[in-house]
Structure 1
């Protein structure tokens, strides 16, 4: 592996110490700099031509990426890409378009200027809007990176009350950020929700509401013709078994949650009122 390949494996940036530990000599590093293959950001930090801007910014500030800015390094779900950089800096000096976070108390990323996942989530819980921090924590729990118990033990006192309440919304299992968001919206509307419910004749569904309305949360794969066909057959099986089926997509759950909830409530009200068909058909064909 040459220096460029090594830097590429580290988002395009590395310290001199890391380069030496990987077997590159001072002479080889100096040669790479003189030939313009790599550049020196400042003393002890070297970059490739395609270094990741956020990693470069962290090295430049002598800080660590954290909160939503560190999400991608741990494959954490996020709702929106933040314009501001979230850093934990030892100096604490104000910088333009940088959100400063407190000191990190857990082990950092093994080779990047990124806070450890524990600090990333603690910072997110105290910094981000409720649902944005919730999906980050949910994805970490789903990957078994840590537990909600661990985070709660780190967040004592009254000032962390709201953050601890967010942890109570985390599900034992969630296959996508849509599931934890939908569950939160439905339960807050006073509905009984069972996630990953097994419905006879249908199989496992994303949400079963009030024991009779199936809600499926469809991602990108559901646009494929084969999956669309499968989904329609599942809906048909559900209807023949007495279950109404509704489908929602990312934009519905993230940007129009109240509309989604209102539609589910309307379906439940109509079902309760018997508006989905005359009962006489259940007794057989009408007399000739």
Structure 2
């Protein structure tokens, strides 16, 4: 069970030696957090888990995946799986998406989250197709989803979702990278993923043998030290005759049309003379690593 995702029932705590008086003292002192009547959490439990427990359900879908470090395209909606006989929910100050369907894998009785497999099934159905691919890419890249799970996942999903299975590629190291990969694929241009270039290092994409694409996020590129390293890499690439495009992660996720237009503009003005160096030429797009 994931750290921080367990809850404790009053009955179990009483059996282990707690008393109602000690439970009240622990809540008052901040050693326990009372989520709802008879249910307690660790005081540092993530906010989404606290809210899911207060609603009487389990964290689900994209909310549960983000909690596990797997990419999902989400604007802050809380996804909660609820028993079919749940009573009316109390209002929250944020949007809540309720999931009622039967789970495919039974969670640990103390788990405040649905199982990863069910969260992925829910997220594929809940997100746009491009985001569903990026989520599954992330799960493959992190090792959370193995080939057997992929086969089972598409077996339980409605048949119409089978069209996304050939698009999966676990080489991309972030959700925005997967989204860029799908854009490049739609443009029909040759590209390589996680390409090592001598003197530059590993870049997210090398497109058409001359254009480097790096997917920048605030988390990894906001400091001046990081920006300085990035600019020096770009200078090294320029010395080799390679151009660099750095779309921002938030634009890739939430304004993809702008990024796609920029890619079209760049690729429509392909340099007339490209350095004839086999190390940087891509005759055809390398097929993705097989995951089925």
The TM-score by the shorter chain falls in which range?
Answer: 0.7 to 0.9
Q: Within 5 A, what are the aligned runs for 1:14-29? A: 14-19=8-13, 23=16, 25-27=17-19, 29=20
Partner of 1:32: 23
Partner of 1:262: 261
Q: Within 5 A, what are the aligned runs for 1:80-99? A: 80-91=74-85, 95=89, 97-99=96-98
Partner of 1:182: 180
Partner of 1:238: 237
Question: How far does residue 123 in structure 1 lie from its aligned partner after superposition?
Answer: 1.2
Partner of 2:284: none
C-alpha distance in 2 between matches for 1:231 and 1:123:
37
Question: How far does residue 223 in structure 1 lie from its aligned partner after superposition?
Answer: 3.1
C-alpha distance in 2 between matches for 1:113 and 1:181:
30
C-alpha distance in 1 between matches for 2:112 and 2:217:
32
Partner of 1:278: none
TM-score, normalised to structure 1's length? 0.75
C-alpha distance in 2 between matches for 1:224 and 1:186:
28
Q: Within 5 A, what are the aligned runs for 1:33-72? A: 33=24, 37=28, 39=34, 41-42=36-37, 44-46=38-40, 54-72=48-66
1:248-286, CA deviations, whole angstroms, 9 ceiling, x for partnerless residues? 2112312332332332332233234569xxxxxxxxxxx
Partner of 1:100: 99
Aligned to 2:75, the other structure's residue is in SS state coil
Aligned to 2:81, the other structure's residue is in SS state strand
The structure with more radius of gyration: 1
**Count of aligned pairs:** 262
Aligned to 1:263, the other structure's residue is in SS state helix
The 3 A distance-change label for structure 1 pair 107 and 211 is: farther
C-alpha distance in 2 between matches for 1:123 and 1:169:
19
Does 178-187 or 142-151 show the bigger shift?
142-151
1:122 aligned to 2:121?
yes
TM-score, normalised to structure 2's length? 0.75
Q: Which runs of 5+ in 2 are unaligned?
A: 275-292
C-alpha distance in 2 between matches for 1:241 and 1:149:
43
CA contact 1:222–1:228 (8 Å) conserved in 2: yes
Partner of 2:132: 133
Partner of 1:153: 152
Partner of 2:73: 79
1:215 aligned to 2:213?
yes
For residue 203 of structure 1, the aligned residue among 201, 204, 212 is 201
Question: How far does residue 215 in structure 1 lie from its aligned partner after superposition?
Answer: 0.8
C-alpha distance in 1 between matches for 2:53 and 2:238:
57
Q: Which runs of 5+ in 1 are unaligned?
A: 1-8, 276-288
The 3 A distance-change label for structure 1 pair 60 and 207 is: same
1:196-217, CA deviations, whole angstroms, 9 ceiling, x for partnerless residues? 1122332211111112111111
C-alpha distance in 1 between matches for 2:41 and 2:235:
57
